[in-house]
Amino acid sequence: MTQLSAAAPAVGLVDEAAYLEAVAQARKAADAYYGSGESGLDDETYDRLLRGITAWEDAHPGQIAADSPSQQVAAGVTAGDVAHTVAMLSLGNVFSDEELTTWAISVQRRLGGASVAGWAVEPKLDGVALAARYREGRLVQLVTRGDGTTGEDVSHTIGDIIGLPLTLTEPVTIEVRGEVLMTEDQFAAANALRTAHGATAFANRRNASSGSLRAKDRAYRVGQTFLAYAALTDPGHTDDPILAGLTHTRLVARLAALGLGTTADTPLATRSYATLDEVLDRVREIGALRAGLDIELDGAVIKADNPADQILAGTGSRTPHWATAFKFPAAQKITVLRAVQWSVGRTGVIAPRAVLDPVDVAGTTITYATLHNPADIARRGLMLGDHVIVYRAGDVIPRVEGAVAGLRTGTEQPIDIPELCPRCGGGIDRSQERWRCARGRACGQKEAIRYAVARDALDIDGLGEKIIVQLVDKGLIEDFADLFTLTHDQLLTLDRSGAKSADNLIAAIETAKTKPLNRVFCALGVLGTGRSMSLRIAAHFGSMQAIRDADAVALAQVNGIGNDKAPVIVQELAELAPIIDKLIAAGVNMSQPGFVPPASTDAETDAETSAQNAKSELPLAGLTVVVTGTMTGPLADRSRTEMTELIAQAGGRASSSVSARTHLVVAGDNAGSKHDKAQALGIETITPEELAHRLAGHLT
């Protein structure tokens, strides 16, 4: 059986002094984590430290420190003035298949050797535990977990949390327990509000949730999301007809029926399984879904599904014996921001990049991370020397979420923001969040040409960086459109250029004239577009002239553009008009193969119907297709752009991410997480060879 993950190695403690130091460090981190939500240790490091503490205590039971974080819920560092009728406990953790198996055996032992009557598996949500009390169907109080015995009243947030309706669908008296967290959009909105009111941006979503729950004096309100996973009747009588006899799986479904937020009817829904092998398969499914979610989770929770088994297994002082969490490898870590590098792209956009102390995040060593733009740096309040949270999930580019302000020492330094263009020394256009060199594309002239001739665009073989530099420096070309008017004699003036190489390059340039419109449009390097968007635009309009004639309203109709990007594209096309005119004059193709124009008169109706019928007969008609991994067989030499074009010609729509709306996944060698996610969602998955067979009449 494939291992889900290796157990996080415990921190080795050699003597009592090291043990007491570890206890102090863990308590400090826990105090910040459960208090403000901001800790100086990432989850994986804290887990390793706590495992080391626990291992020491197991070996030295007579030397356990009274303030050890292993002895109390939430490390005993938070409390409140509202008593819990039934303790809100933490969960124990396992980190590997073997540890989960050992834990399951311990549960069976507590049942006197009897088999567990089913296991419930659900996601471990990475948020803040909360109890919501309803009286006769009306929400009356919200209480944090605190130290498990008492919590803090946060009822001032009633009305701000999706998933906690003010009134349930039935007039029941019940206490619902679950997790408060933020979606990606909620996190962005919270930070926008926070920085607009002069505060530093939240470092991460859990920090934002915890801080927003406790804040009472803010001039703004922050939206969050609640997902329920437990309930009890007031005042803790579990024999009430509302919940009587319900397995955990059925309980979650019951809470959803009452109108509460749950994971029911989603791919993360709580499900019950008879065997541990089935449990491990489900844990893998949840792990595969993790990268594409709008919420954060850090593991899966496994519980005895039957309430009779739960009662018989019992609970400890901190954790229930009948439930545990399988922790996934961390998708975010804390490291130090050492420097910020500024680069200039092909369109003149000035982009900052964080230089970090190397850190392993989700199996990849991260040294650099995106910072987006100067405004983003200001919003996050970043400084050189800051301990920052770096986030990466799946194929997402690493990014800096924010600084851990509590770890600042006073030695941090402001980040130097450039006054002039880092490449050419010219002025900077600061009219938008994404700064640009005032010279625009002229500053990134050579980079723009390299982009235009690359494989995903015009794919001009033999036109490498050294030749481009010579062509520009000798004044033979100003932009990539000038390539199409180059002569054989001009190429012979280049260093190390002979007659044969000049002939080959002229032939490659001539071939590029016949590329489909989407390749030509991609070569233009229009802001906000790339190879996929270029294909959508070309397929939508059919010709360069139609694209140029389109206004912002028409462009906004293209899937993925919308009202924000459309005016930018219109402005870009106006700026690129001289280059487009030169391309047309040079005889470069300006139409999209297979384009079917919409009928505009009644006389054309029959022709339109015929064209649409023909399109519906294409082998991928109406399907959203994701290609992942290395292509093999007849498709082995196809680039990702060529695969996208092939899918479009066959009537499909190529997508870069797997979701519930995906119809087909083509999985080549080393397909990775996208293949796993497709399997978890039950999406049809085929090999490149099988796709080639389906498209036999469309391969060129």
Report helix, strand or coil for 196. Answer: helix
Q: Which two tokens stand for residue 391?
A: 């986030």
- Write down the catalytic residue from 28, 124, 615, 674: 124
Residues 6+ apart with CB under 8 A from 71: 64, 317, 318
Report helix, strand or coil for 79. Answer: coil
Q: Which two tokens stand for residue 175?
A: 């206490």
Do the beta carbons of residue 131 and residue 118 sit within 8 Å?
no
DSSP string, 149-176: SEE-B-GGGTTSEET--SB-SS---EEE
DSSP string, 390-448: EE--TTPPPEEEEE-GGG--S--BPPPPPSS-TTT---EE-SSSS-EETTGGGTTHHHH
User: Which of the 8 DSSP states describes residue 384?
Assistant: B
CA–chain centroid gap for 200, Å, is 23
> Residue type at 70?
S
User: Three-state SS across 273-319?
Assistant: ECCHHHHHHHHHHHHHHHHHCCCCEEEEEEEECCHHHHHHHCECCCC
| CB-facing half-sphere around the CA of 489: CA atoms within 13 A | 0
Query: From residue 650, how far is each of 49, 553, 622, 623, 699 by CA, in Å?
Result: 55, 28, 10, 10, 9
Helices 640-649 and 517-524: crossing angle, nearest 10°? 140
- Please confirm, yes or no, whether 474 is among the known catalytic residues: no
DSSP string, 224-242: EEEEEEEEEETTT-TTSTT
Residues 6+ apart with CB under 8 A from 563: 552, 556
Do the beta carbons of residue 191 and residue 139 sit within 8 Å?
no
- Torsion, CA 250, CA 254, CA 259, CA 262, rounded to 10: -20
Do the beta carbons of residue 587 and residue 613 sit within 8 Å?
no
User: Which of the 8 DSSP states describes residue 335?
Assistant: E
Do the beta carbons of residue 543 and residue 591 sit within 8 Å?
yes
What's the CA gap between 530 and 647, in Å, rounded? 17
| CB-facing half-sphere around the CA of 586: CA atoms within 13 A | 22
Do the beta carbons of residue 162 and residue 151 sit within 8 Å?
no
Q: How many CB atoms lie within 10 A of CB 147?
A: 20
> Residue type at 76?
G
Residues 6+ apart with CB under 8 A from 468: 446, 449, 450, 453
Total number of residues shown for the chain: 700
Which phi and psi angles does 199 have, rounded to 5°? -100, 160
Report helix, strand or coil for 361. Answer: strand
User: Judging by beta carbons within 10 Å of its beta carbon (0-12, 13-18, 19+), is residue 49 exposed, middle or buried?
Assistant: buried
Catalytic residue list: 124
